[in-house]
Amino acid sequence: MIGMAAIWIAALLLIGGFALDRVLSRSIVDSFDNQLTFVLNSMIAASEIGPDGEVRFNRAPADQRFIEPYSGLYFQISGEGADTFASRSLWDRRLRVVDEHADVDPHLYDSDEFSSVGHSEPLRIAERDAILPGSDVRWRFQVAQSRETIDEQIRKLRSTLIWSFTALGVGLLVLAALQTFYGLWPLRRVRREVASIRSGEKHRIGSDFPTEIRPLTEEINQLLAHSESQAEEARRHAGNLAHALKTPLTVITNAATARTSDLADTVCREAQVMRRQVDHHLARARAIGRRASAQARATVWESLEAVQRAVERLHEEVTIDIAGDQHAQVRVERQDLDEMLGNLVENAAKYGGGRVFVTVEPKGPNVDILVEDDGPGIPEADRSSLFARGARLDTTGKPGTGLGLAIVRDVAEIYGGSIHLEESEDLGGVLARLTLPAG
């Protein structure tokens, strides 16, 4: 930040200093030219033709430098066929006359014609052509003055500008450095606070921060709270899984110790119980882990089509129809959405009468996914009990673990959704309403 500020400050000061130098230098030169033009016009106004046909002044020039040799201020009047009338200050020198152009208006230019080895006198010359009354000769009037005066003024001006702008640039750079240092100082405090949290000295970042930094610290505190919640939830699930596995393992151990005759059946039965528990807790653990990604998005229609293809291969006699919004998205990982929809659609295909109808309905901040079947339905009193782990109402011996709806409920709740069982008005069977947050 300081480096970028230094670059911009230097660039802007250079541009501004150059522009100001050009304006002020031009002003000095213009003022100098105005004085030369005034002297030139005054000299023309005071000129007349004498009896001998030569130019003379009807009043002497007021500036005494015209009569001091090499004073730095000179005039010269020249005409074709006439002697050159020059100021005494020129002494033995003469101004160069260029006849290639006619200067009706004052012509001002720089000249180094008086420069020589070991000596340099740059000149600023104003010249103009005029025809005086009583003469047909075009006279060239020239006034020259040494540029040392304006060059010295311009040097002083540029020296002042350089020092002033340098001091201004250093001051601005110091100010930018101080702003950067003190502006970023709260971030150093945040770093120290985070280090204290990592070392265990603190649990949260303090709140006494500037307004610009406070949103950052609040987000960090919320992230810490979320991480603690995730860790606590993971510990709770690990404890629940350990507790759920303890009883089957105890049964197997006791049966093995007693060398009972139905040991094999006991092991298979309890292993199946453990498998259901492991599947259930793994599904919850995966959902909790994926929920941490705020960018989770899944298109419901794509997931339904994949589930439809898979279930129709398993149950060829079942017809699955999908309707509703094809572009609806939910804030759920695709794998978890597939698992929830797969459980619901497979249950409808397995226990229905051969027809399954799925509807996708966006409703404000949520998306409802309705899975209906044409089966015998479920009594209202038994619907809530189906969400318990291992609960089954089917007595026909169809394969299943009794964890499908429990997994759907747990995963949906992890993402902030819900699942309800209702009666299908169109097909007469069960209507499972899965509500998930819209993406």
- Sorted by where each begins, the domain ranges of the chain are 2-153, 218-291, 298-437
* Torsion angle in degrees (nearest 10) through CA of 376, 380, 381, 387: 80
| pLDDT tens, residue by residue, 133-169 | 888 888 899 999 999 888 899 999 999 999 999 999 9
Q: CA 379 to CA 346: how far, in whole Å?
A: 20
Query: Residue 286's pLDDT is what?
Result: 64
CATH number for the domain running over 2-153: 3.30.450
- Fold classified for 298-437: Heat Shock Protein 90 (3.30.565)
The domains spanning 2-153 and 298-437 adopt the same CATH topology: no
Q: CA 345 to CA 306: how far, in whole Å?
A: 11
Query: Residue 393's pLDDT is what?
Result: 46
Q: What pTM did the predictor assign?
A: 0.48
The sign of the CA dihedral 427, 429, 435, 439 is negative
Q: CA 127 to CA 76: how far, in whole Å?
A: 9
Query: Residue 287's pLDDT is what?
Result: 62
Query: Residue 392's pLDDT is what?
Result: 46
Query: Residue 46: in which H helix or E strand, if any?
Result: none
